Chain A
């Protein structure tokens, strides 16, 4: 039942995206988030779409799997789309129901915002799909390095992140296990009125919280037992390598940004 969650999931592979430096990927996604907001007409959204699909194809992650993983956000996408149709009153009336009119501006706006959402989720999920959690953390720690000067606990922050990423699958497994145990005792999580359903989650959440706290304690103990003492003077087992293709990928993104900037509707 939780088989389709792809957030935080890593799929081993040897594609170009897998081999890229995590710093380049992080920077790239950071830039992409801004670039997405540059698009404001069909042409620019189309170019972005081609780019996003190309990135997915490059990652060699199966399209069927991507689609399954995107399913949960379809609800949000459709909701956004409908909201825009209802709220935007620009352009010509396309459809008139008497009490309520659909404007072509609303349709356009709805489609654009939905596309924007899909692009963002698509590209950001590629990061975790093609990068091991440990690489993401290393990259992040490096990129945030300058903030150490202003006494920001960058190493601790990165560690926290890697621990949370690392335990997403564990937590999902645990959830499934306890869900099954309670279902075997006749609990139902997917039927009945909303109030009952919320109540039904207590038997799931209490054991989850308890095991999470226990696991946190065990982890802290295991780290201390192995002499962990924070980032000060810590050397790395694996050193990140910035290659030509990483510079190239970022350069490509900048070109994309420039193209979008030129082709977007101004004014």
Chain B
């Protein structure tokens, strides 16, 4: 589902001593099927931006179009619900939103709110629990008896159960162990590819952004700072460092390598395998001996 944002401005707490301009004239176009990563340091407006896509915040100025739905400043409430059905959002620490007696009921909460029958909601709950890699037995357990990692997966299943066309992820792996991180991120990438979704990932990890995303948006002080493919973005190390970001570790390594050996290396290697290949290519050419 195509997403188009134009001239989006948002002011928090307008008319109080705490008024703050969180977004300033943001324009952005995300074609259907894109996996977009949004990076930027804390307070750059990433979270504010994605909450607009779900109708949780209304624009102070500007418009947001998702598919054929357009949200403008002062829009109708009914539209917001229609928008929420299309756009699923996994918040930071989503396990905080669990509340029901059993995992099954909690996962069914979303679909039933959007008018699914109990039968259909239960079916989708079973499907999603398996999809996030949990055994079907947990469905009858209380979500509060599960481990932190399992709770996270249940919460994610609860969002996926609404079967959204657009999936927004706000640091979905914060606080997970390395293995959990990789499993969850791989899950999102697989889902993205299989279900033809549009995915927007907010992250602090340059590595995740480089590895999983097709395009990257860099936010700074409430405006868009850079936008492009991972290779384009991470070729601009100076500009990234100016706003408190950096290139992924693989690129850092290759830059050091280049510095030591004096050979230009392929800078868009974002996996360990690709990086190793880039270096061994150097060796293959009878390269340096450092």
The answer, yes or no, to whether A97 is at the interface (CB within 8 Å) is no
Instruction: Provide the residues of chain A in CB contact with B17, threshold 8 Å.
Output: 11, 61-62, 65
Q: Which residues of B contact A3 (CB under 8 A)?
A: 12-13, 16
Q: How far is the CA of A67 from the CA of B99 in the complex (A)?
A: 36
Task: Report the minimum CB–CB distance from B217 to chain A (whole Å).
Answer: 21
**A3 to B81 CA separation, bound complex (whole angstroms):** 22
Say yes or no: is A64 at the interface (Cβ < 8 Å to chain B).
yes
Determine whether A19 belongs to the interface, using a CB cutoff of 8 Å to chain B.
Answer: no
- CB-based contact A184/B16 at 8 Å: no
CB–CB B96/A185 < 8 A? no
B229 interfacial by beta-carbon distance below 8 Å: no
CA distance A210 to B89 in the complex (A): 22
Asked whether, in the complex, the Cβ of A185 is within 8 Å of the Cβ of B56, the reply is no
Task: Give, as a whole number of angstroms, the nearest-CB distance from A102 to chain B.
Answer: 36
For chain B, residues 24 to 42, give those with C-beta under 8 angstroms from any C-beta of chain A: none
In the bound complex, residues from chain A placing their C-beta under 8 Å from that of B77 are 191
A185/B15 in contact, CB under 8 A: no
Tally of A interface residues using CB under 8 Å: 27
A202 interfacial contact with B, CB 8 Å: yes
Given contacts A11-B17, A68-B15, contact A181 B97 (CB under 8 A): yes
Residues of B with C-beta under 8 A to A183: 56, 84
Digitize B95-125: 1 where CB-to-A-CB distance is under 8 Å, 0 elsewhere: 0111110000000011001100000000000
- Can you give 14 contacting A-B residue pairs, CB < 8 Å? A3-B12, A3-B16, A64-B16, A65-B15, A68-B16, A181-B89, A181-B91, A182-B97, A183-B84, A184-B54, A184-B88, A186-B84, A186-B114, A203-B109
Task: List residues of chain B with CB under 8 Å of any chain A CB.
Answer: 12-13, 15-17, 51, 54, 56, 77, 81, 84-85, 88-89, 91, 94, 96-100, 109-110, 113-114, 144, 158-159, 162
8 new A-B contacts at CB < 8 Å, known A3-B12, A191-B77, A206-B99 = A3-B13, A62-B16, A180-B56, A181-B97, A184-B159, A203-B97, A204-B99, A207-B98
Closest 4 pairs between A and B when the two form their complex, measured CB to CB? A186-B113, A206-B99, A181-B97, A185-B110
Q: Which A residues fall within an 8 A CB radius of B? A: 3-4, 11, 61-62, 64-65, 68, 177-178, 180-188, 191, 202-204, 206-207, 210-211
